[in-house]
Amino acid sequence: MTKSNTNVSTFTTLSESELFNRFLDAPYREGGLTSLSANEKSECTMLERYFSYGGFDTECLPDDLPEFITDTLRNCDDPIIELDAVIGAFEAMARSLHLILNSFEELARETRTEAPSEDATDEEHRKWEENPRYVLAETERSAA
């Protein structure tokens, strides 16, 4: 077992923001973050390890969202508070998006056109599967 021979001779007083930036840029330790597990230095930083994406698999989120968030966090005075707020905002948004998804899926099931009859051609069944249609009663909307 090897012992670390690192001698600390100077200390630097940092703001929370400065400490956070150093944390993001610090090397990730392979095998875990604690000294009780393997701790070979990785080629990637903490930021690269935990928050790097080649882009999202959706058109709804901009590819540069992770960079925007980390750039904003790097420049804020209270990264712990702000990071917690970002997480809370994403969790709330995710819950709302789940509600929207579930409600829309239910509406789609309720309004889907009937499946072709058993004596319909394979082509008619294929079209019904590949190009779903929905029937919705038209109602008159009044301005509020």
Which tokens hold the place of 50?
Answer: 């935990």
Helical H runs in 4-137?
16-25, 46-50, 65-74, 79-111, 122-130
**121/35 Cα distance (integer angstroms):** 66
Q: What pLDDT is recorded for position 73?
A: 93
Map residue 57 onto helix, strand or coil: coil
Are the CB atoms for 46 and 28 separated by under 8 Å?
yes
Residue type, 86: V
Which tokens hold the place of 97?
Answer: 């998006």
Alpha-carbon torsion, ordered 75, 81, 87, 88, to 10 deg: -130
**74/133 Cα distance (integer angstroms):** 48
Q: What pLDDT is recorded for position 142?
A: 64
* Tokens 């840029």 sit on residue: 25
This prediction's pTM: 0.68
pLDDT tens for the 144 residues of the chain, in order: 444 555 567 888 888 898 888 888 887 776 655 433 455 667 778 888 777 766 667 888 888 888 899 999 999 999 999 999 999 999 999 999 999 999 999 999 999 999 999 999 999 999 999 998 999 888 777 665
Domain ranges for the chain? 13-77, 79-133
